[in-house]
Amino acid sequence: MRSHPDACPGAVELHAAADGGLARIRVPGGTLSAAQWDVVRLASLELGSGSIELTSRANLQIRGLADGVELGARLAAAGLLPSASHERIRNIIAAPLEDNQALVDEIDAALCADPALASLPGRFLVTAGASVSGLGGDIGLVSGDVGPAGNDAPGAARPASVAAPGIRSATPSTWILLLAGRDTGVRVTDPVDAVVTAARLFQQLRGTSWRLSEVDDGVRKITAHFGATEAPRFTPVVTPVAPSPVTPGVPLGRLDAHQLPGVPLRLTPWRSLVVPAGTDTSGLITDPASPWHGVSACTGRPGCAKSLSDVRADARAWLGTPHDRPVHWSGCARRCGRPAGDVTEFVATGDGYEEIR
């Protein structure tokens, strides 16, 4: 049981990091128009450190800020801060190659419209789509056209045009509702109402818990409200998008704010981007065989006061060492930013690194 509220940073309430104020900008569904991306870029250049971090929840972070007032005003004007009261709970990860941004926008608007949900924890997470269903969302949606093992069935949603928000294929008649990252048999016909209802129930049950998985008997109680079906169970999956010229990866999840001016893009939870074909991807990972592929790190020194090492520099020095699965470098035992799935971790101890497999 948690004894204190979560301290997730927001876009207005900054986290006091060692290198200045840290703002986390929620981007439900990960889609940014070219104009919105330029607002974020220029804010980092003019107000912060000049770099932009991609998070494992497909959000953005700006570091080195003096305060969040000017940043908040710029984001609000760009449509990136529709609710100051709810902005920390707007965590919706969407499958980046599915036609789902319109659905995400509907869910986001419905969550923000309920005053009672403003006090949900900043760790609260919604997932939308089959390829991100294994990321452990408190609430998840998958098209009912997707088969039990996670493979697309005939009629399932097809990939969207790159960075084309608002386009969605035919709405499925049934949706699989995941709770705490697993299928409990709940099937719904109104996905937006189902997410809001489940969020309200979680809020009533959670006490001081941050995640549904921490609530004693929480999943069963919410499942009982909806009623389960005898449908075959769906197995949640995580299917990362491999780097390519259209879905380039971002080395260690950090962009120079001068990069990609005027480009519409979609963020992924694998610290990569979906960009229009023909975009200049210089400095990004486009080769699946690149040694950067699958390597991530927390902020480390000097940005984080808790870090015991400059993990980014150490990761660069290590680069080229053969590895057969994703590798994450952490500056302390908190292991921030660890990606989902089977990962090798190097955790700083103050006297070198402990390898955790």
Residue carrying structure tokens 């908040």? 72
Does one domain contain both 120 and 96? yes
Does one domain contain both 72 and 148? no
Q: What is the DSSP string of 170-208?
A: PPPS-EEEEETTEEEEEEES-HHHHHHHHHHHHHHH-TT
Neighbours of 6 (CB within 10 A): 14
| pLDDT given for residue 55 in this prediction | 94
Give the predicted TM-score (pTM) of the model.
Answer: 0.91
Does one domain contain both 101 and 213? yes
Distances (CA, A) of 161 to 3, 31, 265: 45, 12, 11
| pLDDT given for residue 90 in this prediction | 97
Does one domain contain both 207 and 93? yes
CB 52 within 8 A of CB 267: no
Q: Is residue 243 part of a domain?
A: no
Q: Is 172 left (phi over 0), alpha (psi -120 to 50) or beta?
A: beta
| pLDDT given for residue 158 in this prediction | 33
Spell out the alpha helix ranges (H) of the chain.
34-47, 69-77, 101-112, 191-205, 218-226, 311-318
Q: Is residue 239 part of a domain?
A: no
| pLDDT given for residue 147 in this prediction | 61
| pLDDT given for residue 274 in this prediction | 98
Does one domain contain both 352 and 314? yes
Amino acid at 110: A
| pLDDT given for residue 338 in this prediction | 87
Does one domain contain both 148 and 57? no
Neighbours of 127 (CB within 10 A): 27
Does one domain contain both 96 and 76? no
- Residue 60's Cβ-count burial label (10 Å; 0-12, 13-18, 19+) is buried
Q: Is residue 3 part of a domain?
A: no
Q: pLDDT tens for the chain, 357 residues: list them.
A: 566 677 789 998 899 999 999 999 999 999 999 999 999 999 999 999 999 999 999 999 999 999 899 999 999 999 999 999 999 999 999 999 999 999 999 999 999 999 999 999 999 999 999 999 999 999 999 999 876 655 443 333 333 334 433 333 457 889 999 999 999 999 999 999 999 999 999 999 999 999 999 999 999 999 999 999 888 999 999 999 989 999 999 999 999 999 999 999 999 999 999 999 999 999 999 999 999 999 999 999 999 999 999 999 999 999 999 888 899 999 999 999 888 788 999 999 999 999 998
| pLDDT given for residue 162 in this prediction | 41
| pLDDT given for residue 2 in this prediction | 65
Q: Is residue 199 part of a domain?
A: yes
CB 252 within 8 A of CB 297: yes
Tell whether the torsion through CA atoms of 32, 338, 208 and 225 is positive or negative.
positive
Does one domain contain both 40 and 102? no
Query: Could you tell me the residue range of the domain that residue 332 belongs to?
Result: 295-356
CA distance 245 to 280: 9
Does one domain contain both 220 and 312? no
Q: What is the DSSP string of 287-305?
A: -TT-TTTTEEE---TTT-T
Chain centroid to CA 222: how far? 24
CATH number assigned to the domain comprising residue 61:
3.90.480.10
Q: Which helix (H) or strand (E) holds 353?
A: strand 353-356
- Number of domains, the chain: 3
| pLDDT given for residue 195 in this prediction | 98
CB 311 within 8 A of CB 269: no
Q: Is residue 315 part of a domain?
A: yes
